[in-house]
A and B are shown apart, each in its own frame.
Chain A
Amino acid sequence: MAASVALRLDLPMTLASSATFADGVREHQDEVYGVALRITGDRDAALDVASSTFLKAYRAFHRYDRTRPLRHWLLRIATNEAISYVRKRGRELRRSVEVDQATAVADSNATPDAESVAREDRARIRAAVRQLPDLYRVVIVLRYFNELSVDEIAHVTGRPASTVGVQLLRGRALLRGALESER
């Protein structure tokens, strides 16, 4: 059984980079999980999204365009999965995020002041990102978590680069507004 699994894992191999599916999982799993976490805001959801992403990628690996980066393909699946997860779970997910946030703030009391302030700042920004509409949240996460360029985001999301540029500006403005209104 183990031998047959290993054989099957070697089957979907990219011609351009000669990277196997296994290499893709190893190399990009943190990033896929991270993008799912930043979009859903929930660890369990992010794990579900990451595993369904790799499951879908495994099944569709023979259809993957090998001239394009594997990373972008995986991120495209992951963002789509995360967004549909968020839409499906909607209210239920938002409630669990609030609980997560509350525990995060409570934990920060034990740390020194500067660190606690920084942690609180990060928590506030993450919460503000989670409140963004899907349209802006995806581009903000791909830009500032995955460090993709505007063209790369356009490729991952299938939106025109000019639209992505505008959505980044608008997303940042919405974030700034949300953070300032908290003060």
Chain B
Amino acid sequence: MDQATASEPGILAFRKQSQAKEVWRRFRKSKGALVGLIMFSLIAILLLGADFITPYQQATHQDLINKLHGPSWSHLLGTDAFGRDLFARIIHGGRTSLMVALLATISSCVLGSALGAVAGYFGGRTDSLIMRSLDIFMSIPDILFTMAVVFALGAGFVNLLFALTLAYFTNYVRLVRSQVLNLAELEYVEAARAGGAGSTRIILSHILPNAMGVIIINTTLNVAKIILYESTLSFLGLGMPPPAPEWGLLLSDAREYMREAPYLMFFPALAIVLCACSVNLIGDGLRDALDPHLKS
């Protein structure tokens, strides 16, 4: 027994590496996926390196003499109605948006997968309790529930994360449940059970790793959805509290100056679209690489 557990990590590590290589080889073949990866890396570098490129003060510093100036060399993307540099606002604001989106993706994935795995594995009463509650929960349109949560708890990073998690965990429950229902029937799960493995161990180390491909694909595509959803929330004024220059908020502010300064609307919109589009490209590439028969 000791020997088996000792050699297991080695085998797993070896297999994981070769599989990752294989996936990367297939991923590389798709031009769209590579373009998406490069685009997303550039965006991520701009956003993460925002402090080195231009200081945060640039994003909030008001310069009323130079307000509503179009794109120029001193202000790459122009200035807004308070003379704040739009480029600085986009890269600093995007950081919050992207961070919230990524964290919300992870937390909704963990919560949803856990519930789905439990529902699918135990079945019976546990399953119907979870699934019926989910049906009820899903009868409330996401946007309204998110608004209710933000209203009750107030705007802020953690509350926004919480609201987004609650809006997006539901599809993982269904997805993982159906995966588990299929996988739990397989022989190696039966073998593990015969070998005396407990439920937690079977779910975590035998079933979930095999459902990972589908979960990863769904997660990547969800990142884009959450980016769009989060920008919608901040457009409605339900995102981070005002001084944070989130992309949706930039667009909402740009509405008043649509006539004089359409670039105020154009650039943040482009940022949202490029960001979501690059993530979708990566997601599609990953889908083809991880699961060839899902290819549409």
Do A and B associate with each other? no
